Structure 1
Amino acid sequence: MIYGQKLVADDTDVPPPLTNVSRRRLLGGGGALVLALALRVPAQAQGDGPKKFGVDAMPHGWRDDPKVFVAIAPDGVVTVTCHRSDMGQGVRTSIALTIADELDADWSKVRVAQAYGDEERFGNQDTDGSRSLRHFFGPLRHAGAAARQMLVQAAANQWGVPTSEVRADEHKVRHGKSQRSIGYGDIAQAAADLPVPAREDVRLKAPQEFRYIGKGNIDLIDNRDITTGKAWYGLDTRLEGMLYAVVARPPVFGGTVKAYDATEALRVPGVVRAVPIEPPAGPAEFQPLGGIAVIAKNTWAALKGRDALKVTWDDGPNASYDSDAYRSTLEEAARKPGKVVRREGDFDAAIKTAAKRVTAEYYVPHLAQAPMEPPAATVRIRDGHVEAWTCTQAPQATRDRIAKRLGVGADTVRVNVTLLGGGFGRKSKPDYVVEAALCSQAMGGAPVKVTWTREDDLSHSYYHTVSVEHLEAGLDERGMPVAWLHRSAAPTIGSIFAQDARHELPFELGMGLVNTPFAIPNLRLENPEVSARVRIGWFRSVSNIPHAFAIQCFVSELANAAGRDAKDYLLDVIGPPRIIEPTEIGDVWNYGEDPARYPIDTGRLRRVIETAAKGVGWGRQMEKGRGLGIAGHYSFLTYTAVAVEVAVGPKGDITVLRADIAIDCGPQVNPERVRAQMEGAVVMGMGLALTAEITFKDGRAQQTNFDTYEVTRIDGAPKEIHVHLLPDPDYAKPLGGVGEPGVPPVAPAIANAVFAATGRRIRRLPIRDQLSA
C-alpha cells in the first residue's frame, strides 16, 4: 500500500497505510521495476571478531538482515518499503530520501509503504537503539544505486549505445549525444528483466553529487497527512464488525485476580462479555499483566463496564512496594562494595593520600515513557490466520508473542504497523497486542481493539529504572581527581526476563558507566545487587540518564571544590584528544558495534562541549538569580553536549531561558530530522529534570495522568533552543545514533546551572519545589 492511497480492492474497511504494497499490485497494469536488494549478515556470538560486509559491519550478536524494496510503477511513481517504525522521528522520510538520492528520483514522485512484521523478508525491524540509519544507510544507498544502474543499462540496451554515454537524472534516463531521454516508468519493465548488479559493481554517488542526503531540504514525506488528520495511528483502526475492549489489570505488579463479578458490567448497554486474561507464569517479559477484559460495542461502553466490574485482587509479592522506602534500600546498597565492573590503578591507595575528598549521591526516580498515543492494538482471527494492526516498535517480537500465546504458527500471524504517536521504548513491548489477540480469540475471531487509557499507561508501564548513584573522588593539590569511585545501584531490565536478575546487564553498564572516558589514573566502578519491584523497560536513552546525571553533576561539584571554571574543569577531566578502545576499559557491549569502527574519541566529546559553551556565551557576566550550566555525554556512538541559561525566581521557580545543544553523530543523512530530535530531546530532558517522576505506595503508581505526571508544557519550554550540528562530510565513515543521545546531558546541565544561579546543589530528580523549601 502506498501511503495515503488504497491499492487493494478487498477489506475496504482497513485503513490505507496498514497494507503493504504487493509486487503483483505494483506490476498490475504495466511494467515495473521491483528491486529487492538483500544484504544478509550472519548472526555472531558476542565476542566474535567483526565481519565486514561492504560498508556495513554489524557484529556483537546483532542479526540485521536488510531487504530493502524499491518499486517503480509504470507511471513513474517510486515506492520505498520502510522496514522500521515511525514514531515521530521521521524514519520513513530518511529511508526514502536515502534511496531516492542514489536513484536520482524526483522527490515529488516518491511514496512510502510500511512493511509488516516479517524478519525473513525485511530483516531486523526493531526500531530501537538509535540504529535504523546507523545499520541500514549503506544497504539503502546500494538499493537506490543498483536500481539506477539497472535503469541506465536498460535504456542503453534500448538505444544501442554504451552505458558510459547514458546517465540517470531527475527521474529520467538521458543520452547526451542524441539528446534522447526516457522516464523511469517507461523503462522500468526492461530494467526489471536485467540481473541485479553485483554489490562490488554498484557505483555510489560522491557526496558532492547528493541532492537530498545531508541537505536538510526535505519535509516529512507524510507531513500533510499528519497535519490534516489523514494519517492512521494504532488508535485509528476500524474494521467491519469490530468490538472494543479495555482491561482491568492488577493494580500491583505481580498481582492476580482472586475473584470477580461481572454482573453489573454486563448490564451496561453495549457490553458484550467479560474475559479473564491469565498473567504470565514466569517472568513478566512482554506478556500481559493479566486481569479482566471488558469487551463491548464501543469504547465508552467498555470503560463504563470496567468501572462496574467487581474485582478482588491478590496484590502479590509487591504489595508493600514503597518507592520512598526503596530509595533507602538503594542508598544502603550503594554505600557498600558491589560487583566491580571496571578497575584501573588502585583507588583505595590513591584516596588515602588525596589532598581533598569529595562524596555525593544522586537519585533518579522511576519514569514512564508516556507517549502521546497510549498503547492500542486491533486483532482479527479469520480462516486460520491472525492479523494485527498496531502501533509497535517491534513487529517481529509482536508476531512471535501472538503466535506463542495463541498456540499457532508464526507463519499464520501478520502484524501491520501503523504510525506511532510516540514510543520512547514503551511500544517495543507488545503486551497490549497480545491482550487484543486473546480478546479476539475469546470472541471467536471477531476483530477486537484494545485501548489503553492514559491512566492505564501510567499505572501499568514498563518503567525506567530508579537509581542511586554513589560517587567519591580524591583530588590532588591542583584540584584534579586522582581517585574515582562510582557505584550504580539500579534494578535491571533483565528482571523482566529472569526474576532473580539483580545486576545491571552489560548493555546497561555500557551506557555511560564502564565507558566513562575520563583521564583519571585510579578508578573503580561497581554495580551493587538490587531487586526490581515493578516492570523495568527501555526508556529513551535508558541507563545513560542516571549515569550522565550523576557523573556530570559530580564533575561540576569537583570543579567547585577545586575553585575552577566548570567547563574548563570538565575538559581537563576528559583529558587530551585520544582514541579509547571500548573493550579495553570494560565495555564489552559498545552498542552492539565493532569497537574498531566505533572507538570512543574524546576529541569529538571535547568539541561538542566547547561548541555548546560558545553558543550559550559561556563565561559572560550573569545577573543575580541566573546561571549557566553545562554537561556532555557519549551515547549511542554519538557525542552531545548541552549548555543552558536558567533563571531562578524568589520562590524557587526555575525558567530555562536558553538551551544550546551540540551534536556530532558523524555523517548526517537528514539534518532537519537531527535538529528536530535535538529540540525534542531538550524539551523531554527538561521534564525529567524539573517535574517528571513515578512514585509508588502499597505497590501502586501514584501518578495516573498528566496532572500528576508532569511533562514539559509549552509555557515551560526554553525561550530559545539552539542546535549546533557538527556533521562529518565523509559519508564512508560510520554513522552514530540520533534519537536518544540528546536527552542525557539536559538534566545535569540544568542542575549545574541552578547551582551557578543559587549556590544550591541538586542531587535528586526531579527538582520540583526543592528550591522553594
Structure 2
Amino acid sequence: MTDYFDLSRRRFLRTTAVAGAAVFAVPLLGRRAVPGAIASEAAAADSEARLFVALQPDGTVEITCHRSEMGQHARTAVAQIVADELEADWDRITIAQALGDKRYGDQNTDGSRSIRFNLERLRLVGATVRRMLRDAAAERWGVEPGSCRAEQHRVYHDASGRSLDYGELVEAVAGREPPTDVTPKDRKDWRYIGKGKAIVDMQDIVSGRATFAADVRLPGTLVAMIARPPVVLADVASVDDSAAREVPGVVDVIRMPSLTENPVDFNPLGGVAVLAEHTWAAQLGRDKLDISWTDSPNASYDSASFRGRLETACRESGDVHRSKGDVEAALAEAGDERRHSAEYYVPHLAQAPMEPPSATARFEDGVMEVWAATQNPQADQSLIAGLLDLPPEKVKVHVTLLGGAFGRKSKPDFSAEAAWLAYKSGRPVRVQWQREDDIRHGFFHTVSAQRLEAALDDGGRLTALRHRSTFPTINATFEAGAEVPGFETDLGLSDAPLAIPHIQAETGRAPAQVRTGWMRSVANIYHVFALQSFLAEMAHKAGRDHRDFLLEAIGPDRVIDFEAEGSKFDNYGADFDEYPFDTGRLKHVLRRATDMAGWGRELPARSGLGLAVHRSFLTYVATVVEVAVAEDGSLRIPGTWVAVDAGTVVNRDSVRNQMEGASVFSLSYALHSAITVKDGAVEQGNFDDYPVARMPEAPASISVEVVDSDAPPAGVGEPGTPPFAPALCNAIFAATGKRIRELPIGEQLRA
C-alpha cells in the first residue's frame, strides 16, 4: 500500500454538502487575539468580564464558552446568557472555545452543572460589559451615565437623540477598569434567556465545517493506534513488532507506560502503540503486533458468577445510609399477605458515544499542546503534567467539539496517551480509538444488584420500605481496594421521597475489577429502575392505580428534611435552602406527564402505559411510556410523555431536546446494552454485540412539557435518563403481565 487518500468524515461532508462550491475549512487550532479587542488571553486574572468577552473592532462580540460542547448546547446557552445581559445583537456575536485554564473555575462538563454553576456568574459578566460600554459613551458625550441606556448593540442618549454602536466604543472600553457594583437585568427584561434559540454550531456541524477531535490536522502528524492490555492491570510481557514495522507507512512502535497497580485513576492502560503516516497503516501495524501479556489480579473476574455474589450481599444486612422507624419490625408484622419483595439487576454498561475518544498532541519548545474531545480540560492538563513531569502551565489543552460523551470523555486517559507519544516520538501524534477500543477499554458503568422489601397497611397504603443495593463503587478508581460506596448512595437510594413511617437504605460491598466510571445519570440508572419498578409492583399488590398509589406514597406537599428522616443525602452538593427537595414540584410533574399521556384511557389488547418519576441533579422529571407488545414479543412504543421542572431554564428548546435524547439513551440500555466480562476481559466490541436503539425501535413520538419556574437553575443533561427504563418496564407489565426485573430486556418478552 503506497498511495493514501485521507477522505475524513468531515471532509466528505464538506465536499458533498455544498453543491457547486469549493469549501475549505480551517481546523480549530486555537484562538487568535485581535488588536484593539478586550482580549481574553491578555486579561487580568481577576477580570471575568475580560476573560469571557472580547469586543472586536467591527463591533462583533466574541463570547468565550468555558464548558465543553457535546450536544447539550452549552455554547448556545452561554452565548444566550452573556448576550442577553450585554444587550448584544444575536447576529453580531461569535463563540470561542476556552482552553483549559483554572481562571475559568470549574470546567468539568459533567453532573449537569454548566448552567446551575454559571447562570448568575455569566449574567454578571454580560451586565458588566454593558455597563462599561454605557459609561464610555456617557463620558464621550459628557453626560451622566444614568441618562444613557444600552440596547441591541448600541448605546443611546435619549435626551439628545445621540447613539453609538458598540464597535465605535472599542477603544474607549479597552483600558477601562470593570465596575464592581453592577446589577443584572430584571427577569422580566430578559431577551434571550428562557427562550428557544437556534444552536450556534448547527450549520457548521451539518455542513462538515465543525472541528471534532478526529478532524484536527497538524503538519507532520502521525496517527497512533494502541494495543491495550485485555485485562486491567496486565502488562506487556513480550512483544514482537517486526511484522508491524514492515507495514508501509508505519514509522515507529513505542511501549506505553505500564499500569500495573491500583488505583488506576485516569491513567492510560499501557500497551504498545504503532505510529504511522495514516490511520490505515497504524491499524494494520497494530494488528500485526505479537504481544504476550502478564497475569493480572483481575484475570479471574467473571461477570456472570459475580452477579451471584452481588445478589447474596443484597440478602444480608449492609451499611446503612438512611434509617427511619423500625423497618424490620414493620415487615415482620405485615405478614405474607401485606408484604412483598423483589430483586433487580443491571449489568455493566458502556457510554459508547458516537465519536470514539481521540486527541492530538504536539511537544514544542517545552510546551505540550493537546487538542482533545474532553469534558474536563483541566483534568487533561493535570494528568499530562504529572505523566511528563511538566509544570501545569506548560500544558495547553484545546477543547474541540465532542461527538457525544455521556461521562466517558471526562476521563483523560486518551489525551495522556497522545501527549506521551508526542513527547517520546518528537512529532505531533493523533491517538485514535476505534469502536472496539472504546467498548473494551473504557471506564464502565458499574454492575448492580438490588433487593427491595415493603409492607402495606390494611388500607393498601405503603408503610415500610427497605432498599438494599450492592455494586462496585467508583471510589475504587481513585482509592485502591475501595468497596464502600460514596456519592452513589445519594443518587436514588438515600433520597427516596416517601412519606412513610419506616424506611431504610443499605449498601453491600464489592470489589471493582474493571475500570469503573460515571455514565449519564450515574447510580440513578440502577437505583431508580429498581425503586420505581418496585413501587409499581406494590401498587399492583395493593390493587391500586399506580399513579394514585405513588402520589399517596410521596405524601403531602412539603420540603423534605432528610437529616430528620435519617438520611445522609447531600443534595448533589447544593444548599438545601437554595435547592429544597419539594414534593409539590415532584407531584406536579407526575400529574402533568400522566395527564399528557391520558392516564387511565382505554387501550388496545397487549398495550399498556407505565410511569416513573424522580428528582435527580436537582430537577424533577416524570415519564410515561406507552407500549404495544405483539404475540411474538416484539415491542413498539407509540408514545412517550415527559414533564420536567428544571427551575430557571436558559433555552427551552434545548431542555426538550435533552429530555428526548435522554429517553432514547435510556431505551438503548433498557432494550439491548450489556457489558459482560470473562477471564477479566470485556466480551463485546462493537454495535453488533453492544447494540444501541435503532430508529424503528424509538418512540413514535416524544412529547415534552417544560414547567415554567423561577426557581434557581438545575440540571438538564442527565435527569431525563433515570425514569424512562422503569416506565417502559411498568408499561410492559400493564400490557402483558410480565415483570421485567433485570436489564437489558433482550429476549425476556419472547421467553
State TM-score, norm by structure 1: 0.91
Query: Separation in 2 of the partners of 1:511 and 1:342?
Result: 13
Moved more, 577-586 or 379-388: 577-586
Query: Separation in 2 of the partners of 1:541 and 1:33?
Result: 37
**Kept in 2: contact 1:36–1:69 (CA 8 A):** no
**Kept in 1: contact 2:533–2:726 (CA 8 A):** yes
**Kept in 2: contact 1:92–1:221 (CA 8 A):** yes
SS of equivalent residue, structure 1 residue 655: strand
**Kept in 2: contact 1:14–1:238 (CA 8 A):** no
Structure 1 residue 150 corresponds to structure 2 residue 161: no
SS of equivalent residue, structure 2 residue 297: helix
Structure 1 residue 225 corresponds to structure 2 residue 204: yes
Query: Separation in 2 of the partners of 1:383 and 1:480?
Result: 71
1:6 maps to none
Query: Separation in 1 of the partners of 2:26 and 2:398?
Result: 11
1:338 maps to 318
**Kept in 1: contact 2:49–2:126 (CA 8 A):** no
> What displacement does 1:264 show?
0.6
Structure 1 residue 78 corresponds to structure 2 residue 89: no
2:16 maps to none
Counterpart of 1:404 (choices 357, 381, 386) is 386
Structure 1 residue 547 corresponds to structure 2 residue 530: no
1:663 maps to 644
1:704-715 residue pairs with structure 2 within 5 A?
704-715=685-696
C-alpha distance 267-36 of structure 1, shift in aligned 2 (>3 A): closer
Counterpart of 1:102 (choices 85, 88, 100) is 85
Query: Separation in 2 of the partners of 1:408 and 1:369?
Result: 31
Counterpart of 1:175 (choices 157, 167, 178) is 157
2:121 maps to 139
Query: Separation in 2 of the partners of 1:537 and 1:276?
Result: 26
1:568 maps to 548
C-alpha distance 515-678 of structure 1, shift in aligned 2 (>3 A): same
In structure 2, give the amino acid aligned to 1:131. Answer: R
SS of equivalent residue, structure 1 residue 274: strand
> What displacement does 1:17 show?
2.8
In structure 1, give the amino acid aligned to 2:598. Answer: G
> What displacement does 1:673 show?
0.7
Query: Separation in 1 of the partners of 2:740 and 2:126?
Result: 51
Query: Separation in 2 of the partners of 1:263 and 1:220?
Result: 50
**CA shift digits 1:237-284 (9 cap, x unpaired):** 101111110000111122221111001111111111111112334311
2:680 maps to 699
2:9 maps to none
In structure 2, give the amino acid aligned to 1:165. Answer: S
SS of equivalent residue, structure 2 residue 351: coil
Structure 1 residue 468 corresponds to structure 2 residue 449: yes
Query: Separation in 1 of the partners of 2:368 and 2:598?
Result: 58
Counterpart of 1:615 (choices 596, 604, 610) is 596
**Kept in 2: contact 1:251–1:315 (CA 8 A):** no
In structure 1, give the amino acid aligned to 2:76. Answer: T
**Kept in 2: contact 1:66–1:136 (CA 8 A):** no
**Kept in 1: contact 2:494–2:569 (CA 8 A):** no
Query: Separation in 1 of the partners of 2:51 and 2:342?
Result: 50
Counterpart of 2:496 (choices 516, 536, 542) is 516
C-alpha distance 290-67 of structure 1, shift in aligned 2 (>3 A): farther
Query: Separation in 2 of the partners of 1:459 and 1:273?
Result: 25
Counterpart of 1:329 (choices 309, 312, 330) is 309
> What displacement does 1:182 show?
0.6
Structure 1 residue 262 corresponds to structure 2 residue 241: yes
**CA shift digits 1:47-79 (9 cap, x unpaired):** xxxxxxxxxxxxxxxxxx998511111101001
Q: Percent identity?
A: 49
2:402 maps to 420
2:28 maps to 17
2:220 maps to 241
Query: Separation in 2 of the partners of 1:84 and 1:265?
Result: 40
Query: Separation in 1 of the partners of 2:282 and 2:57?
Result: 48
In structure 2, give the amino acid aligned to 1:86. Answer: E
C-alpha distance 287-84 of structure 1, shift in aligned 2 (>3 A): same
**CA shift digits 1:5-61 (9 cap, x unpaired):** xxxxxxxx995433134xxx22x1x46587969889xxxxxxxxxxxxxxxxxxxxx
SS of equivalent residue, structure 1 residue 580: coil
**CA shift digits 1:328-357 (9 cap, x unpaired):** 111011111111111101111111111511
Query: Separation in 1 of the partners of 2:676 and 2:283?
Result: 25
> What displacement does 1:315 show?
4.1
2:737 maps to 759
**CA shift digits 1:165-185 (9 cap, x unpaired):** 211111111111221111001
> What displacement does 1:594 show?
1.2
In structure 2, give the amino acid aligned to 1:740. Answer: E
Structure 1 residue 203 corresponds to structure 2 residue 183: yes
State TM-score, norm by structure 2: 0.94
In structure 2, give the amino acid aligned to 1:747. Answer: A
Counterpart of 1:529 (choices 509, 514, 524) is 509
**Kept in 1: contact 2:559–2:581 (CA 8 A):** yes
In structure 2, give the amino acid aligned to 1:262. Answer: D
**Kept in 1: contact 2:25–2:209 (CA 8 A):** no
Query: Separation in 2 of the partners of 1:39 and 1:562?
Result: 61
In structure 2, give the amino acid aligned to 1:421. Answer: G
C-alpha distance 519-37 of structure 1, shift in aligned 2 (>3 A): farther
Q: Name the count of aligned residue pairs.
A: 723
5+ residue gaps, structure 1:
1-12, 41-64
**Kept in 2: contact 1:342–1:524 (CA 8 A):** yes
SS of equivalent residue, structure 1 residue 641: strand
C-alpha distance 243-67 of structure 1, shift in aligned 2 (>3 A): same
**Kept in 2: contact 1:386–1:412 (CA 8 A):** yes
C-alpha distance 67-734 of structure 1, shift in aligned 2 (>3 A): farther
Structure 1 residue 768 corresponds to structure 2 residue 718: no
1:667-746 residue pairs with structure 2 within 5 A?
667-728=648-709, 730=710, 733-746=711-724
2:586 maps to 605
Query: Separation in 2 of the partners of 1:472 and 1:230?
Result: 55
Moved more, 353-362 or 757-766: 353-362
> What displacement does 1:637 show?
0.4
Query: Separation in 2 of the partners of 1:18 and 1:291?
Result: 29
In structure 1, give the amino acid aligned to 2:421. Answer: C
C-alpha distance 16-269 of structure 1, shift in aligned 2 (>3 A): closer
In structure 1, give the amino acid aligned to 2:269. Answer: L
> What displacement does 1:580 show?
1.2
> What displacement does 1:479 show?
1.5
Q: CA RMSD in A?
A: 1.7
SS of equivalent residue, structure 1 residue 18: coil
1:556 maps to 536
SS of equivalent residue, structure 1 residue 76: coil
> What displacement does 1:651 show?
0.9
**Kept in 1: contact 2:49–2:129 (CA 8 A):** no
SS of equivalent residue, structure 1 residue 647: strand
1:161 maps to 143
SS of equivalent residue, structure 1 residue 579: coil
Counterpart of 1:642 (choices 593, 599, 623) is 623
Query: Separation in 1 of the partners of 2:682 and 2:73?
Result: 32
Query: Separation in 1 of the partners of 2:517 and 2:31?
Result: 30
In structure 2, give the amino acid aligned to 1:194. Answer: R
SS of equivalent residue, structure 1 residue 128: coil
Moved more, 707-716 or 621-630: 707-716
SS of equivalent residue, structure 1 residue 318: coil
**Kept in 2: contact 1:214–1:670 (CA 8 A):** yes
Query: Separation in 1 of the partners of 2:45 and 2:636?
Result: 51
Query: Separation in 2 of the partners of 1:764 and 1:37?
Result: 55
Query: Separation in 1 of the partners of 2:371 and 2:224?
Result: 15
Structure 1 residue 213 corresponds to structure 2 residue 193: yes
Structure 1 residue 430 corresponds to structure 2 residue 412: yes
> What displacement does 1:202 show?
1.3
**CA shift digits 1:86-116 (9 cap, x unpaired):** 0111101100110000111001111111111
